Amino acid sequence: MLIWQDQPRRKARIEIIPMIDVMMFLLVFFVLISMNVIPATGIKTQLPGSTQPDHLDRAYHAVITIGEHGRLQLEGKDYDLGSLEQGLQNLKRTHKDIDLVIDGDKGSELQNLVDVLDVVKSTGITAVSIAAKKK
C-alpha cells in the first residue's frame, strides 16, 4: 500500500524588513519637506510689472535686554536709561512698524522693567512683548 506523506504546511510569515524600509523612506521624505529642502511649489507665476510699486514693510523686531544689575542693551549695544529713549526714537525713525521684545534676566529688579516700559511708552511704541522661558 502506498502512503502519501503530507508535507507540513509552512506558516505564513510577515516580512518586517520591507515595511521598515518603506517607513524610513516616508520619514526621510517628511523631514526633507519640513526643512524646505524639497520646496512645496504651487502654480508658477511671474508677477506683472508696475511703474509705481509700493514697498510693503515687515515689522522690525528689536530686543531690549535688561541685565541682572540694571545693565541695558538695545540690539546688542549698551545704553543707560537716559539714552535708551534716543536709541528707540532712532529705531522708530528707520523702521515704521516696530515690535519690541524685552529680554530680562530673572535676577533683575522689577523697577528696572518698569523704568524701561516708561521709556518705551514715551516713544510711542505700543507693540511690546516680554520674553520668557516655558517652565
Q: Please write the tens of the pLDDT for every residue from 12-36.
A: 788 888 889 999 999 998 887 777 6
State the Cα–Cα distance between residues 36 and 98, nearest whole angstrom: 28
Average confidence (pLDDT) over 87-105:
85
State the Cα–Cα distance between residues 124 and 122, nearest whole angstrom: 5
State the Cα–Cα distance between residues 91 and 99, nearest whole angstrom: 10
- State the pLDDT at residue 14: 80
- State the pLDDT at residue 43: 42
Is-contact 125 100, C-beta < 8 A? Answer: yes
Q: pLDDT for 45-77, tens place per residue?
A: 445 566 666 554 567 788 888 887 788 888 888
Is-contact 98 59, C-beta < 8 A? Answer: yes
CB atoms within 10 A of CB 123: 17
- Sheet strands (E) in 1-135: 60-66, 72-74, 77-79, 98-104, 128-130
Q: Which residues contact residue 59 at a Cβ distance below 8 angstroms, ignoring those fewer than 6 apart?
A: 97, 98, 99, 127
